[in-house]
Amino acid sequence: MTNKRHNAGILGTGYYVPEKRITNRDIEKMVDTNDAWIVERTGIRERRAAEPGTPVSEIACKAAEMAIEDAGVRAEDLDLIIFATLTPDYYIPSTACVLQMRLGAAKAAAFDLEAACSGFVYASAIAAQFIENGIYKHILVVGAEVLSNMVDWEDRNTCILFGDGAGAAVYGAVPEGEGILAFDLGADGTGGDTLIVPAGGSAQPTTEESIKARQHFMQMDGKAVFRFAVKVMGKTVLDALEKIGMDKSEIDHLIPHQANIRIVQAAAKRLDMPMDKVFVNLDKYGNTSAASIPIAIAEAQREHRFKKGDVIALAGFGAGLTWASCILRWTKEDK
């Protein structure tokens, strides 16, 4: 970090969620569950779903256009697009390339990144290196998902949790002492089978049998994922803080992955943070995986939660198993 030519920070944010709402009452009609149980166990009251046939690049484009406008740049100014998603438009080409075309960002390099719910923070860490080393000036990082296509609506363990949405941020150079201060990234592949779509890849190609067995939908060991998340969410923030010699008391805002209110509360407790410093919108959107953190950042910004100079901690975990955190000093003036 001592050889950085520039500091990297967020120049603009954007988000988009589909109009269609699926409430807990709606889910009561699909599987054996009820609104009170879902709210008590997860904190989720409703989630959004894209219309059938909507590609993730379409909703990502709306979030990206908002972020580009907020940053005061043009799509033609983008040097790189990093698209974090586990629900791409296609296996090939990358959805980042599709988004590049949609935006008209002709000079931007583009690639996808798959780290599940940790994806946006992973992608932001990569973007920071290019900015800090002076290789690129403007980088668009997107986290977007259409999880309604991957959820088994007959499985009450998963269908209550997930929603569709997109978030985006434009990264660029910011003044010294501002922007991204530290990251902590990690993975534990031994837990890969706790959250998995078993079929459709090279390990288990698509067959008539795999389709009949519903192996192309998400499967989750909820208790194992919960234990993992409670363990790592607070710890990853503490590890990132340690790298820069900051104390948890210096954090002004926590933007956690929006998976489960009990996991969020556990992370806040470990960081000794009151819940009024923790941004929560999972009651409205559910778990939107890679879109979760950037949607929360963009929404919090538009609710005037941040002021210039505030220290913000981002923290996520996801399939893989993965975890990621980022400490940043907010650089935008509140409008």
Task: Please compute, for residue 329, the number of CA atoms within 13 A of its CA located in the half-sphere on the CB side.
Answer: 15
Q: Catalytic residue among 138, 281, 287, 326, which?
A: 287
The two beta strands, 21-23 and 46-48, are antiparallel
Residues with Cβ within 8 Å of 251's Cβ and at least 6 positions away in sequence, in order, are 237, 241, 271, 273, 277, 311, 312, 313, 327
Answer whether 11's CB lies under 8 Å from 124's CB. no
Q: Catalytic residue among 7, 24, 61, 117, which?
A: 117
257: annotated active-site residue: yes
User: 185: part of which helix (H) or strand (E)?
Assistant: strand 179-187
Backbone angles phi, psi at 47, to 5 degrees: -145, 165
**Closest C-alpha among 162, 194, 149, 163 to residue 319:** 194
149: annotated active-site residue: no
Residues forming beta bridges with residue 48, ordered by sequence position:
21
117: annotated active-site residue: yes
Count Cβ atoms below 10 Å from residue 32 Cβ, excluding itself.
6
Q: Catalytic residue among 97, 253, 257, 281, which?
A: 257
Count Cβ atoms below 10 Å from residue 61 Cβ, excluding itself.
21
**Closest C-alpha among 45, 46, 210, 218 to residue 147:** 218
> Which residue type is seen at 308?
K
Residue 231 tokens read as 């363990």
* Catalytically active residues, by annotation: 117, 257, 287
